[in-house]
Amino acid sequence: MPEALLDVSDLVMKFDLGRVRPDGTPIEISAVDGVSFQIRPGETLGLVGESGSGKSTTASLVLRMQKPTSGAVRLDGTDISTMGDRQLRDVRRKMQAVFQNPYASLNPRMRIGDLIAEPLNVFGIGTRAERAKAAADLLHRVGLAPDALTRYPHQISGGQRQRVAMARALVLNPSLIVLDEPVSALDVSIQAQITRLLADLQAERGLAYLFIAHNLAVVAGLAHRVAVMYLGQIVEIGDTEQIYRAPAHPYTQALLDATLDPDPRVERQRKHQALRGDIPTPANPPSGCRFHTRCPIVQDICRRTAPILAGGPDRAVKCHFPLAPVSANPTKKVS
């Protein structure tokens, strides 16, 4: 197996709310609490969970848009979590991002061709003519007509804007792209087109993806492995097919139950287990297992004792009573 391109180890991100408890201790939010995972070259890891689970914060830490409270983010073996801005400049060429709302992430005052070529200009790569050609070539590769080069973002559709965002992310030839809910704002038919394009680009260029979504069905066709987050922690990680076929954590099962089967005959026969309540506040997480307040199989030990992420290198779950068997060897980092 190839070495990990991205190695995230025991990542923690706390935010001080500027308030104190009656005992004088500061009130903090642990948005990310001990997250570890690896992504190899050419691999897609789907990071899935409800809003408020810490997915986007994890993405911002991987991209070093924020500096973590503790833990490490290693890209190609180099720890970037403590780097200064000058050191990060060269690292940023190796990792790019595509965000949820392409209209918000594209400068409305710039033409499409200039938007795609802008990263080359920032890094001083190529002549003006070479940058323009690179933009035109990538626009063609993501499936847009040449006349889009002179248009503005508001003059094209949402799906086309996301293709532009993908072209801009590719122009520096990165090895890792963080995709933060890249299709959630698009129609279902457009989602399928963008997902196919992402798969084709990955096969051509050997790209690694960190694909963030709140819906397990969205990452099913693209992710090689899936990590399920709940309240700042990974509660299950493993091969996508295994997790879909036999989820081990009750929360993963609940997320799968929330997805609809495209075959109406199959959907009518399914039994859905509704998830109770809302995700608790990270400022005051539940004792023991963080999922116990919503878990359908909760026991007394779940309220008292936090489970560890137990399993092997290919599958692990953080649950006292897993729904599917996994290796009994506890692990702190799952690759």
Sorted by where each starts, the structural domains of the chain and their CATH numbers stand as 6-317 (3.40.50.300)
CB 153 within 8 A of CB 164: yes
Which residues lie closer than 8 Å to 211 by C-beta, 6 or more apart?
Answer: 44, 45, 46, 47, 179, 182, 219, 222, 223
CB 11 within 8 A of CB 36: yes
DSSP 8-state secondary structure symbol assigned to residue 93:
G
Rounded (10°) angle between helices 128-141 and 112-122: 120
For 198, the 3-state DSSP assignment is: helix
What's the pTM value of the predicted model, to 2 decimals? 0.91
pLDDT in tens, the chain (335 residues): 568 999 999 999 999 888 887 887 888 889 999 999 999 999 999 999 998 899 999 999 999 999 999 999 999 999 999 998 888 988 999 999 999 887 788 999 999 999 999 999 999 999 999 999 999 999 999 999 999 999 999 999 989 999 999 999 999 999 999 999 888 878 888 888 899 999 999 999 999 999 999 888 888 889 999 999 999 999 999 999 999 999 999 999 999 887 766 666 665 666 666 677 788 888 889 999 999 999 999 999 999 999 999 987 779 999 999 998 886 444 444 43
Residue 43: C-alpha distances to residues 4, 271, 289, 321 (Å): 10, 33, 30, 30
DSSP E strands: which ranges in 214-327?
A: 225-230, 233-239, 310-311, 315-317
